[in-house]
Amino acid sequence: MNELYQVLGTSKQAHWQMMRRLSKQQEDKQIVIQNILAVRSMHPKMGAKKMYKLLQPEGIGRDLFIEIYTEAGFSVKTERNFQKTTQSIPSLRYKNLTSNLNVNDVNQLWTSDITYLQIGFKSYLYLVLIMDVYSRKIIGYNASNTLEASSNIKALKMALKERGVAKYTNLIHHSDKGVQYTSNKYTTMLNDYGIKISMCNSVYENIHIERVNGTIKNEYLKSYSIKNLTECQRALKKSVYVYNYFRPHWNLDLKTPDNIENELKNIPISERINLQFYSDEKERNHLNFKQGELFF
């Protein structure tokens, strides 16, 4: 061995120091993988950068963490949506009220949309979410095996109960022009609570909730082996809870929606960041913060 060390231009001590370093690196790598698995049990498809920020592993840089994450096969594949869920009808009655709108508090702008979840080869379930745009908190949701307006109404009732406000004076409900949202019962409920009705003219004018729909469906629900509506409702409840209370958001400074809503109680309106919305003709509804820019 001494002759071999001489040929390699090293020493026995240097060799064993290197072996100890490699062993330590392997141990650190296994610890990182175990931590990733622990987070994945709650957030099945969380990306590497967000997970690194959440875990903050000691002695592991972001690039090395992403390398370990990728080599271990945790990379998330983007899936496309091919199922149509909006049965839109022409409507001149409801305009897009979010164009040039400034928002600086919760209960000023809610947005809602429908997405689908495939179970089996030809069966679909339909998910409705209602989100408070300022905090990104999901306040109403429901799963159904049909696209009937009754599912949207259940989600709206949940949102109204969650907020517990008898009459709103400055709240807009924004959606597409699907028949579920233009139904008489749905619009009557909104009117009864003093909620203004806003509807978009193109898909780009409702991107806020569509992103959240994709997160709930692709990062959470698709990780469960959902076989029927009952299982979907149970998984949806769990997913929304994790999303609201445990999932950090980049555009919330890696805080959760619930964190934000709690912090807002101690921040005067004058000191809050303003969200400004634009129409489809003006940057397709990207969110523009006066103190920096954050996008969905």
Q: Where are the domains of the chain?
A: 2-71, 102-289
Tell me what pLDDT residue 157 has. Answer: 97
What integer pLDDT is reported at residue 292 of this predicted model? 32
Question: What is the β-pairing status of strands 123-132 and 137-144?
Answer: antiparallel
Which of 2.40.160.10, 3.30.420.10, 3.40.50.300, 3.30.1490.100 is the CATH number of 102-289? 3.30.420.10
Task: Identify the residue whose tokens are 């969380």.
Answer: 46
Task: Report the pLDDT value the prediction gives residue 278, as an integer from 0 to 100.
Answer: 61
Residue-level length of the chain: 296
| pLDDT at 235 (0 to 100) | 95
Q: Give how far the C-alpha of residue 18 lies from the chain's centroid of Cα atoms, to the nearest Å.
A: 44
CB atoms within 10 A of CB 83: 10
Low-confidence ranges of the chain (pLDDT < 70): 1-45, 48-51, 53-56, 58-59, 69, 71-92, 203-204, 278-296
pLDDT for the residue numbered 290: 39
- Give me the pLDDT at residue 210, please: 77
| Ramachandran area for residue 292 (φ above 0: left; ψ -120 to 50: alpha; else beta) | left
Question: Could you read off the pLDDT of 133-167 as tens digits, one per residue?
Answer: 999 999 999 999 988 999 999 999 999 999 999 99
* Rounded-to-integer distance, Cα 66 and Cα 46, Å: 12
CA-wise closest residue to 111 among 236, 195, 233: 195
pTM to 2 decimal places: 0.69
Of 215, 221, 241, which Cα lies nearest the Cα of 138?
Answer: 241
Q: Can you tell me the distance from the alpha carbon of 234 to that of 48, in angstroms, rounded to the nearest whole number?
A: 27
